[in-house]
Chain A
Amino acid sequence: MERIIFYILALIIIAFAIASVSSRKMLRSVIYLLFVLCSIAGIYFLIDYNFLAAIQLTIYAGGIIVLIIFSVLLVHHIEMRLEIAKPSKQFITGLVCLIGLGLFLFTLYSHEFQVVENTATTNITDIGTKLLSYEAGGFILPFEVISVLLLAAMIGAIVIAKGNKLSEKNNPAK
């Protein structure tokens, strides 16, 4: 049962990923991305990382996709068809990607992974403890850094998106 679900999810991920990078309508492209992200959340559910799947759904599907859709709606006409690259460029890029993929897969399948059989489930408490622990293997420092980063990104995004008006006000010389 889980196998079948996984294959379906994998199929959805790959198919919609391809659709997302080749669609000529911007909004559709974003929606396909949404499907991909949701399927990835499905995979997280499958491998028993429920919290991660929830994050994936809320931040990615709920936050990022909405942000992108907003920007698409603001800067594009819905019906606008996107330009696509020259066939020669598409071909060369595709070739390079296929070679790279071949390399990846060849390397993967020739490598012996030491898989540990387990059925352990992870609960949110574990994650929260680990995240805020300052013992060995704790993630308190990255946690603080990422919070500062998020704050900085937020301020930066506001300043940049506000554009010239704000900087003009702040610059009495002008």
Chain B
Amino acid sequence: MNYTLVLLIPLIPLAVFLLLGLFNQKIKPAISGLIGVFGLVLTTLFSIYTAFQYFFIIGKDSGAFPSLVEKFIWMNFTDTLRIDMGILIDPISVMMLIVVSTISLMVHIYSRGYMKGDEGYTKFFAFLSLFTFSMYGLVLATNLFQIYIFWELVGVSSYLLIGYYYTKESAVAAAKKAFIVTRFADLGFLIGILLIGFYTGTYDFETLNNPESSAILNWASTSFMGLSVLSWGLILVFIGGAGKSAMFPLHIWLPDAMEGPTPVSALIHAATMVVAGVFLVARLFPMFFFVEEGFVLQIVAFVGAFSSLFAAIIAITQTDIKRVLAYSTMSQLGFMMLALGVSGYDGQDGLGYMASMYHLFTHAMFKALLFLGAGSVIHAVHSNYLKDMGGLRKYMPITNITFLVAALAIAGIPPFAGFWSKDEILVAVYEHNSFLYAIGIIVAGLTAIYIFRIYFGIFWGPNRSYEHTPKESPVSMTFPLIVLAVLSATVGFIPFSDFISPDRMGFEGHINIPLALIAVLVGVIGIAIAWALYKKENALAGRTAQRFGVFYTWAYHKFYLDELYLFVTKNILFKGIAASAAWFDRNIVDGTMNAIGNSTVGISKKIRGIQSGRIQDYAMVFVSGIVLLAIVFIYIWTN
């Protein structure tokens, strides 16, 4: 394995970021775009080469894919507890390399068209490169702390890119919201890291994931409030993952994050960064599984299932197509979490884990495609809202076809990619828990409905009065669409189970025909409902909405979660805690400091008065002193 080559994968985007960031004003936009794309082409090639090497040249070592580690000690706390920096190559990190580099490359190419003429063109590419670097670092991290560092770095890049249109108030607010909410979740992550580090004495994934290691065995039984301390640590780590992956109830930042440019949404908020939470759980999967017989995984499963259903319902009611896609992302991420939560460890039992990673992979392709397609549409009609779109299939044939491919893929229609991964998830869930399976099926149906609702809304239906006739996007934008459409249609045929499984052994994948049929049927029914309601503008949709009454209104307002959070933060946190803390800070803390300062100044002024330089003042002191000393020595201190 050529580690230098692997090391170059994150370093090239970093170099590009530094180059574009430092010489922001000096580089012409056209060149900066080319530099970005060129860097990404290199890393993509390296990634593919690494994957090829890893899976086919090195291959399995005594039945399992090896986990290759190259690292150096960065900070040494105790003999075992230390922070390393390095690269870890195992099946999921290699898979993530492929995902990140592919999507990032496509988004870079797409951005050259989409961002054309924008003022901050070079800055945009610099940020994209920063993000790509951070994501690679996150994927290749060898220990919890390293992943945390890059975790925050992707958070920062996400913040920068959401707030890219920094003159827009809503974008700034959304960026802050995303940063604060994920920071809030990362607090849990950090405490979890510290907890795990404290008890196990190591941050290293290899030790943590080894169920026989003494670090785990010693502490697994130390309990706190009925749960093992390691379970608590994992729950906290999962909170961090849930924040990044927009799981309920920490999802509120993701829809708002759509204020960023659409390519950013495609790259960060659909394909790569938001799956970091899923990736984190997958990275620590053996630990999740073995500590207290996978208790935390149950939480993961239920949170995933609930988020998935919750988001799917909201997605149906939204009118901003990017928000629909955002909720769709959240729903699919819930699916992945669900699959991880129900997964076993050995051989065939690891189906859920495999399915989750598989879905992560396919979802990255078709969701990025959906976003880029939506971006293409928005580019053409200059609006985010469904009411401004309609009948675009005549004007934008390529976008239409590629979007349709992606929609079919997410709806789970064979032979498109989504079918295979979603089917595997449903099979895994079915084997585990029928209640969760029911939720999964409902969500699958809802997915088909909401995605075809916007598909029909955009490309079919009546023509709207456009300011200027919409026309197909330039090649730089349609090329990524086509590539991603091809990928979305074909990646389903990769025999994923051969490569990725929790024990790294791989297993024989198979299709469960009855379950697959049910899933497809549900998908088709969903499409049919969408066809009936939204293909032509008719009153049926409105009537259906009315039938659901209050429930529809609730869903339309995202179940008032934003309002609830606002109420809690503004009325309880700000007024109750923050105000009193501020009062304490201003009056007690500052007051003490000010008192010290003021008294020092006051005393200094007095002392300065003594050193006035006026001979008479000195004489005064002198005479007083003499008189005093005379009194003391003549009359008082006389023995």
Contacts and interface: CB of A to CB of B under 8 A. Distances in A.
B572 interface: no
A103 interface: yes
B623 A103 contact: no
A100 B620 contact: no
B513 interface: no
A103 B620 contact: no
Interface in A36-56: none
Contacts of A107: 634
A167 interface: no
A99 B620 CA distance: 13
Interface in A92-116: 92-93, 96-97, 99-100, 103, 107
Contacts of A92: 620
B521 interface: no
B630 interface: yes
B623 A96 contact: yes
Contacts of B631: 103
B624 interface: yes
A96 B634 contact: no
B638 to A, nearest CB: 13
Interface residues of A, number: 8
A96 B620 contact: yes
Interface of A is mostly: helix
B627 interface: yes
Residue of A92, A96, A107 ringed by the most chain B CB atoms within 10 A: A96
Contacts of A103: 627, 630-631, 634
B634 A100 contact: no
B572 to A, nearest CB: 57
Residue of B620, B627, B630 ringed by the most chain A CB atoms within 10 A: B627
Contacts of B626: 100
Nearest to B617: A89
A96 B630 contact: no
A99 B631 CA distance: 10
B4 to A, nearest CB: 73
A127 B631 CA distance: 38
B343 to A, nearest CB: 88
17 contacts: A92-B620, A93-B620, A96-B620, A96-B623, A96-B624, A96-B627, A97-B623, A99-B627, A100-B623, A100-B626, A100-B627, A100-B630, A103-B627, A103-B630, A103-B631, A103-B634, A107-B634
Given A92-B620, A93-B620, A100-B623, 14 more contacts: A96-B620, A96-B623, A96-B624, A96-B627, A97-B623, A99-B627, A100-B626, A100-B627, A100-B630, A103-B627, A103-B630, A103-B631, A103-B634, A107-B634
The 9 A-B residue pairs with the shortest CB-CB distance in the complex, in nearest-first order:
A100-B627, A96-B624, A99-B627, A103-B630, A96-B623, A103-B631, A103-B627, A96-B627, A93-B620
